[in-house]
Structure 1
Amino acid sequence: MSTNDATTTRPRPRTRGRNNLFVKELRTLMYAFGDDPDPLPESVQVLDEIVTEYIVDMCHDAARMASQARRNKIKVDDFKFALRHDAKKLGRVEELLVMSKVIADARKQFDDKPEAEK
């Protein structure tokens, strides 16, 4: 095992600078899933820390995949590879990518029509 592998397997320390990034969205999600309309700030804070930590870890995993492929930029495939063991999340990523393409194609068709009429 190289020294780079050893550092990536240890838990990363929590970062203190990323607080309250998703408070508004998490409050809405908590209410949608049956919580009180005004959840406790501590509950929202804990959930925000968990979500932020998960996103940061996922980005680090994707960056490691890109690094192993000798690329400087992270691609969508790196995230898909990082999620390969979680079928639900990987399926949701695939679904969102398809929908993104459908929306982009629809916008392109809508934007092309006014030019054709001119």
Structure 2
Amino acid sequence: MEPRARAGKNVGKETFPAKDISNLLYAYGDVPDPLPETVKVMDEILSEFVTGISFEACAHANTAKRQKLKFDDFEFALRRNPEYLGKVRTMVDKRIEISKMRKAFHHDDDAVIKDTRPNAAAAAAAAAGVSEDLLDDFEDDADVMDTVRNAGKHNKKKRKNAPA
């Protein structure tokens, strides 16, 4: 059955939580507690919009002989509205940038802790603008965490070998 025909069965039923829709309306200038009729109409509009975009994206994926949707399918579905397309691209770019920053942060964190060459930690701290005292405290915290992790592993071994 076509997705739009399936969506027709839910007409009159709420798709999104009413509180979310009223918060959305308030964010765009409506009163804090909108009328229930306004919330219902907005729910139908949003449901129809999401269903329509999803249907177009699915049709594009089917034409490309794919069963799974990709971001390109949604780009194709939003190609007629450059404002929506720009907002979606911006959100995806931000998400990619945040994930890269998280990976870089964790990677640099481990490098400072595990690098045991003489003056390597001090050089890394100086490059980052961190005092050596703070770095020493950080290394002490890392040693404590390693001890805690290792203590948990020993307890698990003891539990496995313990008689039932």
Please, what TM-score do these two structures have when normalized by structure 2?
0.60
Residue of structure 2 in register with 1:23 after alignment: 18
Residue of structure 1 in register with 2:150 after alignment: none
Percent identity between matched residues is 36
Task: State the 4+ residue runs in structure 1 displaced beyond 6 angstroms.
Answer: none
Distance 1:24 1:114 in 2: 41
Distance 2:64 2:20 in 1: 35
Residue of structure 1 in register with 2:8 after alignment: 14
Residue of structure 2 in register with 1:94 after alignment: 89
* Aligned pairs for 1:1-118 within 5 A: 12=5, 14-16=8-10, 19-116=14-111, 117-118=113-114
Q: Deviations 1:80-99 (Å, cap 9, x if unpaired)?
A: 00111111111111111111
Please, what TM-score do these two structures have when normalized by structure 1?
0.81
Higher helix share: 2
The answer to which structure, 1 or 2, has the higher relative contact order (CA under 8 A, 6+ apart) is 1
Q: Which runs of 5+ in 2 are unaligned?
A: 115-164
Q: Deviations 1:18-48 (Å, cap 9, x if unpaired)?
A: 6241422221121122211111111111101
* TM-superposed deviation, 1:60: 1.0
How many residue pairs get aligned? The number is 110
Q: Which runs of 5+ in 1 are unaligned?
A: 1-6
**Distance 1:39-1:85 versus aligned 2 partners, 3 A rule:** same
Across the aligned residues of Structure 1 and Structure 2, the Cα RMSD in angstroms comes to 2.1
Give the letter for the 1:51 counterpart.
L
Distance 1:98 1:56 in 2: 24
CA radius of gyration, larger in: 2
* TM-superposed deviation, 1:109: 1.3
